[in-house]
């Protein structure tokens, strides 16, 4: 036993162990990426299923149709006349219709300011009190006047009015039903949900005059087309990558695909062959949207309040009409009406790769954790290495001959180096707090100044590492190799800690930032190798946050022929920050950008001087 302990102790002090961390970090990155690409296979994913037995989707006969088609046409004729008119005039008409149905009606004003623009409007909603309930629970049916693309919801609004008239005739409801009409698909629903839960800013958002019980679920209808459709698209992405309970998506899929016989699509995959390629593309599309953290529709505002919600979008040319999508909503509402408690048995963290195929958090989380772990491994290795002297520093007056110097070609485990922590801590802390500057600027400047500010910041960001490097080199006490080790160690430790914590909240964002930041693990000062030095700098600048943001803004979207443009991307980011509370800018400017600055400074480093050596 003592011999075994002595062997373990000698192995711990073996300096050759410090050569392993870079390879371990590389292995973590490779395994993490490969792990992600294995998920679409049948062996790693599984079929969806209903966990909440009380839902019973598709088990009831839906009656919406027949004479309701004439009612829909009448409402559509009235709403078509409102096209191009103001928000107040539209709400006056909707209020008269809702009151004519015997519903209680309330209005709410809101005003948001973002990027120098004012987003104001008025929401209107009507409450159908449950004949068999006590107003302790409610379900919401949302129809925005305009969808996220700014298109008029020409068939969605009259269809919701028709469903309100239809639901009023039934006495089976045990939960109140709230019919919500908003002027847009982002600001209006956000203002209403915030006020419903008393979490609103009273200076910008008015309180609600009427309320019901706890919200159990919400369905939003985005129906802009006026012709028959073939399938229904389920939009489920929430703010900051949050997702609704998987049972809600499965219920809508079961009612629409199983009971109604219509096609169902997700992530804008209009044609899905269930092949590996289509599964992978669907999963990556979902990860990209979750990573951006933007609201995908009116439903997104409900999810942060643990209200499961989705948006339904009819698409394609087929034989399904308005009554078909109405029956889908009726069947889904009948299922939600059966709930005795909040949806909780199924998954809240998942990746869908087909309408009936998913992977849960326990299967996909290791890929992001492995990518994040590589930074922590290298940080620990650099910390240990900073406590060991370099070869040239161990040669003292006692070891003057070449023969004696060769004996200590490897660092002496019995010689410890006192770590100089002040400069590394100050540099890393300054870089971290400097991230507040772009975070503030891009969320408070007017829209006209966003592009010039981004160009100016990109130039300053490119120059800043060179300035910091020259400052470190021309300082009174030259920066040592040990201090560069500590600078990288502290920066990578923070990056690994942030990403591993973020992976449990927004897996997609943590994975994407981790992959783009992977080169930071391997960069180091290269004063004696100009080629390696400038190659490292080129790689880091190509993968810098500013470069990635710019390239992402000019690349075509998922179903777009041209990119959104840098100005539009910055405007949407500011709007998401001010209205929906998206924290993606915090991760980009306060986590990723500081680590990138420290990485470039390390590459440009010119270590000099010596460390303080003391006998262990």
List pLDDT tens digits, range 511-553. Answer: 999 999 999 999 988 878 889 999 999 999 999 999 999 999 9
Give the whole-angstrom CA distance, residue 228 versus residue 210: 36
The two three-digit tokens of residue 157, written as one number: 């609004």
Q: What pLDDT does residue 12 have? A: 57
pLDDT at residue 54 greater than cutoff 50: yes
Q: Using one digit for the tens of pLDDT, what is the confidence trace for 91-108?
A: 999 999 999 999 999 999
DSSP 53: G
pLDDT at 409: 47
Whether 584 contacts 289, CB under 8 Å: no
- How much is the pLDDT for 560? 58
Reading the block at residue 250, the tokens are: 């499965």
The count of residues in the chain is 616
In this model, does residue 225 exceed pLDDT 50?
Answer: yes
Band (pLDDT 50/70/90 cuts) for residue 333 is very high
The 10s digit of each residue's pLDDT in 294-322 is 999 999 999 999 999 999 999 999 999 99
pLDDT of 258 strictly over 90: no
Distance CA 423, CA 106 (A): 60
Phi, psi of 425, rounded to the nearest 5 degrees: -65, -40
Region label for 56, one of left (φ > 0), alpha (ψ between -120 and 50) or beta (otherwise): left
Q: Determine the pLDDT at residue 418.
A: 83
Mean pLDDT of 133-140: 90
User: Are the C-beta atoms of 269 and 281 separated by less than 8 Å?
Assistant: yes
pLDDT of residue 556: 76
**8 Å CB contact between 267 and 285:** yes
| Helix, strand or coil, per DSSP, at residue 155 | coil
Q: What is the pLDDT of residue 10?
A: 62
**What is the average pLDDT value for the chain, to the nearest integer?**
90
**Cα separation of 312 and 255, whole Å?**
13
CA distance 486 to 601: 13
462: exposed, middle or buried (Cβ count in 10 Å: 0-12, 13-18, 19+): middle
Residue 225 has phi, psi (to 5 degrees) of -75, 155
Residue 343 has pLDDT above 70, yes or no: yes
Q: What's 275's DSSP letter?
A: -
Q: Whose CA is closest to 260, among 229, 290, 281?
A: 229
- Check: CB of residue 487 under 8 Å from CB of residue 603: no
Q: How many helices (H) and strands (E) does the chain have?
A: 22, 13
Taking Cα atoms as reference points, which of 528, 526, 549 lies closest to residue 538? 526
What pLDDT is stored for residue 402 in this prediction?
A: 47
User: How far apart are alpha carbons 90 and 222 in whole angstroms?
Assistant: 18
Q: Provide the pLDDT for residue 411.
A: 52
**Of the spans 58-72, 275-289, 383-397, which averages the highest pLDDT?**
275-289
pLDDT confidence tier of residue 111, bands split at 50, 70 and 90: very high
* pLDDT (0 to 100) of residue 462: 95
Residue 44 in contact with residue 359, Cβ under 8 Å? yes
Residues in a beta bridge with 303: none
Per-residue confidence (pLDDT) for residue 4, from 0 to 100: 65
pLDDT digit string, tens, across residues 553-597: 988 765 555 567 899 999 999 999 999 999 999 999 999 999 999
Predicted confidence at residue 162, as pLDDT, reads 97
Q: What is the pLDDT of residue 77?
A: 95
pLDDT in tens, 242-254: 999 999 999 999 9
**612 pLDDT above the threshold of 70:** no
DSSP 129: -
**Bridge pairing between strands 229-235 and 309-320:** antiparallel
pLDDT surpasses 80 at 395: no
Listed in sequence order, the residues at least 6 apart from 488 whose beta carbon sits closer than 8 Å to its beta carbon are 378, 379, 382, 524, 598, 599, 602
Percent of the chain with pLDDT over 90: 77
Q: Alpha-carbon distance 64 to 566, whole Å?
A: 46
Per-residue pLDDT reduced to its tens digit, 468-485: 998 888 765 678 889 999
What is the distance between the alpha carbons of residues 333 and 138, in angstroms, rounded to a whole number? 11
Higher per-residue pLDDT: 80 or 10: 80
SS (H, E, C) 21-40: HHHHHHHHHHHHHHHHHHCC
Cα(119)–Cα(125) distance, integer angstroms: 19
The lowest-confidence range among 119-133, 190-204, 308-322, 408-422 is 408-422
Model pLDDT, residue 398: 47
| Percent of the chain residues topping a pLDDT of 70 | 90
Cα 285 from chain centroid (whole Å): 12
The yes-or-no verdict on residue 428 having pLDDT over 80 is yes
CA 40 to chain centre: 20
Residue-level pLDDT at 616: 41
User: β-strand 229-235 against 263-266: which pairing, if any?
Assistant: parallel
Q: How many angstroms separate the most distant Cα atoms in the chain?
A: 104
Name residue, tokens 């030095």.
533
């Amino acid at each position: 036993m003592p011999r075994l302990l002595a062997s373990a102790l000698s192995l711990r002090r073996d300096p050759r162990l410090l050569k392993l961390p870079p390879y371990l970090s590389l292995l973590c990155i490779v395994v993490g990426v490969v792990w992600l690409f294995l998920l679409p296979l049948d062996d790693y994913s599984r079929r969806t299923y209903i966990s909440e037995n009380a839902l019973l989707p598709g088990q009831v006969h839906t009656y919406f149709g027949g004479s309701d088609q004439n009612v829909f046409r009448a409402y559509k004729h009235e709403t078509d006349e409102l096209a191009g008119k103001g928000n107040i005039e539209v709400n006056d008409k909707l209020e008269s219709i809702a009151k004519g149905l015997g519903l209680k009606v309330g209005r709410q004003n809101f005003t948001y300011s973002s990027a120098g623009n004012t987003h104001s409007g008025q929401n209107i909603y009507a409450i159908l009190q449950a004949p068999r309930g006590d107003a302790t629970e409610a379900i919401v049916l949302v129809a925005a006047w305009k969808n996220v693309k700014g298109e008029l919801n020409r068939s969605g609004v009259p269809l919701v009015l028709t469903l309100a008239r239809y639901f009023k005739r039934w006495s089976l409801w045990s939960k109140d039903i709230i019919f919500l009409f908003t002027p847009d698909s982002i600001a209006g629903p956000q203002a209403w949900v915030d006020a419903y839960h008393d979490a609103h800013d009273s200076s910008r958002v008015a309180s609600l005059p009427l309320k019901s019980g706890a919200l159990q679920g919400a369905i939003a209808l985005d129906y802009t087309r006026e012709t028959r459709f073939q399938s229904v698209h389920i939009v489920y992405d929430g703010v900051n990558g949050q997702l609704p309970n998987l049972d809600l998506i499965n219920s809508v899929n079961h009612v629409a695909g199983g009971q109604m016989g219509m096609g169902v699509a997700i992530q804008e995959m209009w044609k899905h062959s269930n092949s590996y390629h289509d599964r992978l593309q669907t999963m990556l599309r979902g990860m990209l949207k979750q990573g951006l953290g933007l609201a995908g529709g009116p439903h997104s505002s409900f999810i942060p309040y643990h209200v499961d919600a989705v948006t339904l979008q009819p698409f394609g040319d087929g034989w399904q009409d308005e009554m078909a999508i109405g029956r889908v909503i009726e069947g889904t509402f009948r299922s939600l009406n059966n709930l005795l408690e909040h949806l909780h048995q199924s998954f809240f963290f998942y990746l869908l790769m087909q309408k009936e195929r998913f992977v849960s958090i326990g299967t996909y989380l290791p890929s992001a954790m492995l990518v994040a772990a590589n930074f922590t491994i290298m940080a620990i290795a650099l910390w240990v290495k900073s406590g060991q002297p370099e070869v040239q520093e161990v040669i003292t007056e006692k070891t003057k001959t070449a023969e004696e110097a060769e004996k200590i070609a490897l660092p002496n485990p019995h010689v410890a180096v006192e770590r100089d922590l002040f400069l590394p801590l100050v540099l890393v802390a300054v870089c971290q707090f400097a991230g507040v500057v772009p975070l503030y600027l891009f969320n408070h400047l007017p829209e006209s100044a966003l592009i010039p500010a981004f160009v100016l910041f990109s130039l300053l960001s490119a120059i800043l590492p060179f300035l910091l490097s020259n400052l470190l080199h021309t300082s009174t006490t030259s920066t040592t190799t040990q201090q560069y080790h500590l600078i990288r160690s502290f920066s990578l430790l923070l990056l690994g800690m942030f990403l591993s914590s973020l992976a449990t909240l927004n897996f997609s964002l943590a994975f994407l930032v981790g992959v783009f930041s992977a080169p930071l693990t391997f960069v180091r000062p290269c004063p004696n190798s100009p080629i390696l030095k400038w190659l490292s700098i080129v790689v880091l600048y190509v993968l810098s946050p500013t470069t990635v943001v710019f390239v992402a803004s000019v690349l075509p979207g998922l179903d777009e022929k041209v990119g959104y443009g840098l100005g539009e991307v910055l405007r949407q980011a500011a709007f998401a920050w001010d209205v929906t509370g998206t924290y993606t800018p915090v991760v980009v400017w306060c986590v990723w950008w500081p680590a990138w600055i420290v990485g470039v400074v390390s590459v440009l480093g010119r270590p000099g001087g010596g460390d303080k050596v003391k006998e262990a």
